[in-house]
Amino acid sequence: MGMFDSFLIQHEGVEREIPTKKFDNTLDCYQVGDVVFGAEPGIQIVHDYFYLDSEGKMTWEDEKEREIQVFLIIRFSVFMHYCWVEGAMTDEAIEKKVSTLQLEALADSAKFELICIESLKQKTARIKQQSRAIQSITGAVSASKKTDEELKKTFFVSEDNKRAQAGELVEVIEEIVADFENDKTSWF
């Protein structure tokens, strides 16, 4: 089975991961505001689809109850927006929808800039979170190598550093990583 990329969208209150083979196919998962590797220059509207079973879960075509058409709007390699349409569409209807979305994307420079700015803020916050986690892990590793005497001479010793020095380094690192992965708050 070949690789693919996927896009996260909201559909009827559920976050869905829509796979597609229309880009670099490196198992990247994109959210609105992300740079899409392998996207064409300018405005690109990508049509794809997915199927739902009777319980609203994604499924294969042979088990489908519903078919959803998805249109991904990519502008200058940035995943700008998406929309979806319930049911199968004719080729002519798909072409018309793509043309309409291209015109809308071309005309909406302010929205594009806002999406880029918000994405940049979120990514900057994530980098700061990663930096704090790395600093905490570095401190714990350093503390685990110190003797009791050296640790007592340190100006500030966190509980994590004390635990790491006492032999709980792996547990401390696991907690730091878990805290980082669960932290969805913005630092702005």
Angle at 48 between CA 121 and CA 117, to 5 degrees: 10
Q: In what order do the strands lie in the sheet with 66-75?
A: 58-59, 43-52, 66-75, 78-86
Domain boundary residue, one of 107, 133, 164: 107
Structural domain harbouring 167: 115-181
Amino acid identity for residue 170 in this structure? V
Q: Decide if 33 contacts 115 (C-beta within 8 A).
A: yes
Q: What is the DSSP pairing of strand 5-11 with strand 29-30?
A: parallel
Q: Looking at the whole model, is its pTM more than 0.85?
A: no
Q: 3-state DSSP call for residue 16?
A: strand
Q: 3-state DSSP call for residue 33?
A: coil
Q: What string of DSSP letters covers 102-138?
A: HHHHHH-HHHHHHHHHHHHHHHHHHHHHHHHHHHHHH
Domain boundary residue, one of 59, 88, 107: 107
Q: Answer yes or no: do 100 and 126 share one domain.
A: no
Q: Answer yes or no: do 80 and 132 share one domain.
A: no
Q: Report how far apart the first and last C-alpha atoms of the chain are (Å, whole number).
A: 42
Q: Answer yes or no: do 23 and 91 share one domain.
A: yes
Q: Is residue 169 included in any domain, yes or no?
A: yes
Domain count, the chain: 2
Each residue's pLDDT tens digit in the chain (188 positions)? 467 899 999 999 999 999 988 888 788 899 998 989 888 888 999 999 999 999 999 999 889 999 999 999 999 889 999 999 999 999 999 999 999 999 888 887 887 888 888 888 888 888 888 888 888 888 888 877 877 777 667 766 778 877 887 888 888 888 888 887 776 443 33
